Structure formats: C-alpha cells, structure tokens
Structure 1
C-alpha cells in the first residue's frame, strides 16, 4: 500500500512539473490546471493563494473554466485565497457565461435570484437558469454526472425550465446510478415523498443506504430513521451502528445521538462514561444539546469527575439556551464560590477564542 502511494505521489509530482512548465510558458489551459493542482494539493502542497493566482492568469487570457473557477473563489469558496466579493464573482461569472460555461450561467442565475452583487432580478435569474439548463442538458446527455445532478435540481425547482418532478427524478436517477451520493440521497427523498415517482419507502431506504456508503451526513440521517422508526421499523441497534459510523467521521449530531443512546442504554449497554466521551466530542464542535448534557454530567459527576467549573463553562457556551439553560446556570451558581464562577467564565472565554482562532486558520487555508 505504501509503495502504491509513493508511486502515485511521484506521478503527481511529475505531472505537476510538466503542467508548471507549460503554465509558465503562457498556456492558459495549463494555468487553469495548475490552479486546480494548488487548490486540491495534487503533486504540490495545497496553496489557495497560488490557486487564485493561476486561475486569474488563465482567466485573463479568456479561459472560460478558469473564469468560472475565479468567480467561484470569490463567491462560494471565499476565505481561501481571497475575501468574499460578490461584484468580482459576478464579473468573472459573466465572462465565463458569455462563453457558454453552464456552471457560470447557473451561478449568475443564483446571484440574480438572491440579489447578490447586483439588483435582484427574477426575470434575469430565469433567463440565466434557462441557458444553464440547456448547457447542462447537453452535458447530462453525454453522461456527465454533475450535470445530471444539477439538471435534476433545475427541474425540481422549476428554474429556467418548467417544474417537472418526473424529469427531476429521472436525472437524479442517472447520476445516482453512476454512484453520486448526493443524487442517491435526493432520489431517496423523492421516493420517500412520492414526488415524480410512486411512493416507495423500501426504494427510499435502498438509495439512502447507497448514499451512506460515501456520506457521513447520510449515515447520521439513516441513524435518525432507525432511531425514530420513520419509514423503517424502529431498530436501536441499527440506529447505533449508523450513528457510530457518522460519529467516527466527526459528525457532531451523530456524536450527540450516540452519547444519548449510551446514556439511556438503547441498543447497547448503558455506559455513562461512553456517553460523556461522545457528548464531549459533539460539545467541542458547538452542539448545544451535547453541551447542556455534558454540563449536567459534570455537575452530577456522572461518567466524569464532578466539576462545577466545567459544568458552568459548558452551560455558558450554550447559545440560545433559553430559560432551561438559564435556570441550570442560576441553580449551579448557588453551589459555587465566586472564584469558581470566575474560572468557569474564563474557561468559556478561552474556549471561544480558541474556536475562533481555529476557524480563522481553516478559512485562510
């Protein structure tokens, strides 16, 4: 395995050197490709600023794909090499759209619909969605999975085309059959709702399961279906399995749900220590319910050593906790010294500062 990885890395590095040489020689296609290599870290260390620089060089030479990519950096992926700038995004999308770039046409439609970087104009939005639909239809007919997915969405929302759930389902199916997880999830949803297809919960679950092979979010959703017995027979063991798969990939909601199941002993042996561990992982990511439950465990000493300061810290960190959390804080303060309260406030402040710093680093990269 290590040998294969080394060989793949060497191939990527050789490809990078080849494309770099062509890009420096002024080849616009190579410049666009080099930008993508910097963006994804293929054959070279990931560098969003370099990605933007090479996309810009290609875009200024009229490369439509690079023009779209540059617009997308300003509009969708801001914080990665550039700050958000709707006007710059619209300018580059418009240049690419004029050359028939369907993704740029769709993005312009979106911006007109939302009134971002320009006056809100539904007529213009529909016109650009229509042009995008034509472009996506051609690409979708050629079997391009992303085009099939987007075209399905256009038919579903009636954007640039007459709303048609059957057409939406057909295009979602084409993309789903090629293994696209999002399309599999959306097709499952259409079977669950009976939109564009006959209502069929069995088919819905089948497509959800296929999507869950690649999507942690879908794993969490399947866990919820089994936990609450929605469109499937209630099954705590299945729910726990799906929550665990998603939780181990960092899904905060699944981490909270798995902690709750450990706490209640649903589908597994009751284990308050495991509950506290999973609540902690979710709480660190800002899951409010997990923060409340973890605070209560620290206050009562369940699964963790009793610690009023930590309990108070987690209560303080709950955003929009309402009267329930306010009551928990008020009652806990009655059992704490002024020094403990001050320390809890300090820890909460420190947690927020670290989270914001980490967020800033992630956005820059």
Structure 2
C-alpha cells in the first residue's frame, strides 16, 4: 500500500511537471512505468517518441528483445539497437556502449540474428572500450567469462577483463578474480589476493565466491567455519531472485549453492564441525545434482 501511494504521488508530480506534454513527458512517464513493471504502459509512452528520442529507442529495443509489455520480437529488438549503434547523432553517443553489449548478446545467443561468437566478441570489445569505467562494465565482465570458458579460451585475456570489470565495480568479476588467483588461472597463484577478492565478493552477496570460500575452509580443516558459511548459503532457495539482486549469472549462483551443499553434506556425514547426521547429509547431497554444468557463457537479459 505504501509503494502504491508513492507511485500515485509520483504520477501526480510528474503530471504537473509535464503538463505541457512533449517528448520529455512521454520519456519520464515511460521510465516511471518501466521501473514499476508496468511494461505495456511504458511501451505506449516510448513508442510515441521513438523517432526523436534515442533513450526511448533503446528501451524499446530491450523490451522487444525480452518480450516486456509485448510479444518477443528479437529481430525488432536488434533493429532498434543497430539504429543506435549506427547513428552519428551526439544524442545517441551515451547509449552506444549499452547497445553494443546487447547486440553482442543477440549474436552470442543467435536470437534475432545468425549466431556468431566472433561478432559477439567484436561487439563486446567495442562496448568494453579498453576498460573505460564509463563504458559497459557488463561487457567487460562478460568478456572475462567468454575467454574463460568458450572456444576463444585465453585465461590471460580473461584475467585482464575480469580485473578491469572488478575495478569498475563488477561483483561477478570480483568473485571470478578470486577463483583465478586461488588456482593460478591466467595469473600466478596468490592465496592472499584470492582470499581478499573472495571475501570481498562474498560480503557483497556473490554466492559463487561464497561457495569457493566454503571449499577453501573445508580443505584447510576449518570445518566449523566451512559448515556455518555453507548452511547460510544453502538457505538461498530461489536462484533466479539471488541472481537478479546480485546481478550475477544464475548458473554461477547455482554452482556456489551446490558447492556449499556438498561440503555441508560432508561435514554432516563425517561429523566435521557439526554433529554427525547421515540422513541430513543425504538431503544436502541431493541438492548438488541440481546445479548446471558451466560449459559456456550464459548471457542473461539486462
């Protein structure tokens, strides 16, 4: 009720501010509706100014690609993003990094265009802009994933891009860097740096980093610490919600939960850090098999 009242008040204030109508009124209304999940209403507002406002064009691209407020139409979503990327207008400049990231995602998924990992890589490199903090940090992190796991595998490049993204605030890349330091992937092994990254990412909610910390504590026989952390992690029942809140890929969230469940099961089975309880151990072991294998980059809608 409080949220509804605030939304109603925001609509009233917006109506007064934009009483004269015009493009700004439609853009502000569209953004308000979009943030509230009222996608059909947002779509109407953005469509009214799509020929004159690049921000509206971008929003329409995302909405058509992901089927928000309309049926899925990835080809149309791609068309909107290309319009921004190909424009010479100064008004489109601030949206080009985001448009390039989304186009890269379309090419990687083969959705709306013919699948091409090479074209996805090219577009993500464009969006990442050599690590520019004002560019697409999501593209920087995605390149780290791409070079870690795909046919383009190059762990030194993966480390570089995760470092850039982490420095620009990416929680996902902070966890990935911790794992790379821990196992010497793309960089010389450095346990101190690994723990600094993993603990920092874990405190910010990165479940993949938390899972690796559980493994680290267990293997070093800090069983009570491992079990306590693992128990907290396995309480994450809704992987998609956690992924959305932390802006981390669901597959990696699921992997972190699975790691925690496995080591919690070991602690309970063997009585390490906890009272021995084989029956409960089996319940946690059953969760391990639910985690997907991470074989390729899984680029989610943004």
In 2, Cα distance between equivalents of 1:125 and 1:212: 30
Cα deviation code 1:324-360 (max 9, x no counterpart): xxxxxxxxxxxxxxxxxxxxxxxxxxxxxxxxxxxxx
Q: How does 1:81-160 map onto structure 2 within 5 Å?
A: 81-99=69-87, 100=93, 101-120=96-115, 125=120, 129=123, 133-137=125-129, 141=132, 143-144=133-134, 147-151=136-140, 153-154=142-143, 157=146
- Kindly tell me: are residues 226 and 125 of structure 1, through their superposed partners in 2, closer, same or farther at Cα, counting changes over 3 Å? closer
- Kindly tell me: are residues 110 and 148 of structure 1, through their superposed partners in 2, closer, same or farther at Cα, counting changes over 3 Å? closer
Q: How does 1:57-76 map onto structure 2 within 5 Å?
A: 57-58=48-49, 60-75=50-65
Cα deviation code 1:288-311 (max 9, x no counterpart): 92499xxxxxxxxxxxxxxxxxxx
Residue aligning to 1:49: 40
Give secondary structure in 1 for the equivalent of 2:69: coil
Residue aligning to 1:236: 223
- Kindly tell me: are residues 238 and 26 of structure 1, through their superposed partners in 2, closer, same or farther at Cα, counting changes over 3 Å? farther
The answer as to whether partners of 2:144 and 2:160 remain within 8 angstroms in 1 is: no
- Kindly tell me: are residues 114 and 147 of structure 1, through their superposed partners in 2, closer, same or farther at Cα, counting changes over 3 Å? closer
In structure 2, the gaps of 5 or more residues are: 88-92, 240-253, 291-302
1:199 offset after TM fit, Å? Answer: 2.2
- Kindly tell me: are residues 97 and 49 of structure 1, through their superposed partners in 2, closer, same or farther at Cα, counting changes over 3 Å? same
- Kindly tell me: are residues 259 and 175 of structure 1, through their superposed partners in 2, closer, same or farther at Cα, counting changes over 3 Å? closer
In 1, Cα distance between equivalents of 2:183 and 2:18: 50
- Kindly tell me: are residues 256 and 28 of structure 1, through their superposed partners in 2, closer, same or farther at Cα, counting changes over 3 Å? farther
In 2, Cα distance between equivalents of 1:28 and 1:163: 46
Aligned equivalent of 1:267, options 273, 276, 281: 273
Cα deviation code 1:264-289 (max 9, x no counterpart): 2332123578x39x94xx8xxxxx92
The answer as to whether partners of 2:178 and 2:209 remain within 8 angstroms in 1 is: no
Aligned pairs, number? 259
Q: Which has the larger radius of gyration?
A: 1
The answer as to whether partners of 1:169 and 1:196 remain within 8 angstroms in 2 is: yes
Residue aligning to 1:289: 286
Residue 253 (structure 2) pairs with residue 247 (structure 1): no
Residue aligning to 2:175: 185
Give secondary structure in 1 for the equivalent of 2:57: helix
TM-score norm. by structure 1 comes to 0.55
1:9 offset after TM fit, Å? Answer: 9.4
Q: How does 1:197-346 map onto structure 2 within 5 Å?
A: 197-218=187-208, 220-222=210-212, 224-226=214-216, 229=219, 233-250=220-237, 253=257, 256-257=261-262, 260=265, 263-264=268-269, 265-271=271-277, 275=280, 279=283, 289-290=286-287
Q: Larger RCO: Structure 1 or Structure 2 (Cα < 8 Å, ≥ 6 residues apart)?
A: 2
In 2, Cα distance between equivalents of 1:170 and 1:123: 19
1:181 offset after TM fit, Å? Answer: 1.3
TM-score norm. by structure 2 comes to 0.64
In 1, Cα distance between equivalents of 2:138 and 2:157: 11
C-alpha RMSD of matched pairs (Å): 4.3
1:210 offset after TM fit, Å? Answer: 1.0
- Kindly tell me: are residues 88 and 225 of structure 1, through their superposed partners in 2, closer, same or farther at Cα, counting changes over 3 Å? same
